[in-house]
Amino acid sequence: MGLKPIGKKIVVQVFNKPEETVAGGIIVTTKADRAEYREGIIQMVGPGYEGDLRPGDTVLLAPFIGTEVVLNKERLVILRPEEIPAVVEE
């Protein structure tokens, strides 16, 4: 199962940040993790989008943008193209 964006929306898979585990084996996460810039890879673009972004592009995601969902244990963000501040080039 996947997500198909509607209109000009874009679906980005967010790269998972390494989890921090304390001595007792507890995984530590905070809401502050989302307050940082993240990287992700574009999975799909909607049929109404006619820009330069393509599936497979690695992009920078600003904090607190889009709609974040978890599907098949993958973190995905659905957002408008203008919410993406930059493409990451290697």
pLDDT tens string for the chain (90 positions)? 578 899 999 999 998 665 555 566 665 555 555 578 889 999 999 999 999 999 999 999 988 899 999 998 889 999 999 999 999 997
Give a yes or no: residue 83 inside a domain: yes
Question: What CA–CA distances, in Å, run from 49 to 1, 11, 86, 87?
Answer: 22, 12, 17, 16
Question: What CA–CA distances, in Å, run from 83 to 19, 20, 22, 26, 48?
Answer: 26, 29, 35, 34, 16
Give a yes or no: residue 21 inside a domain: no
Give a yes or no: residue 3 inside a domain: no
Give a yes or no: residue 4 inside a domain: no
Range of 70's domain?
Answer: 10-16+26-87
Per this entry, what is the length of the chain?
A: 90
Give a yes or no: residue 49 inside a domain: yes
Give a yes or no: residue 82 inside a domain: yes
Number of domains composing the chain: 1
Give a yes or no: residue 31 inside a domain: yes
Q: What is the pTM of this model?
A: 0.78
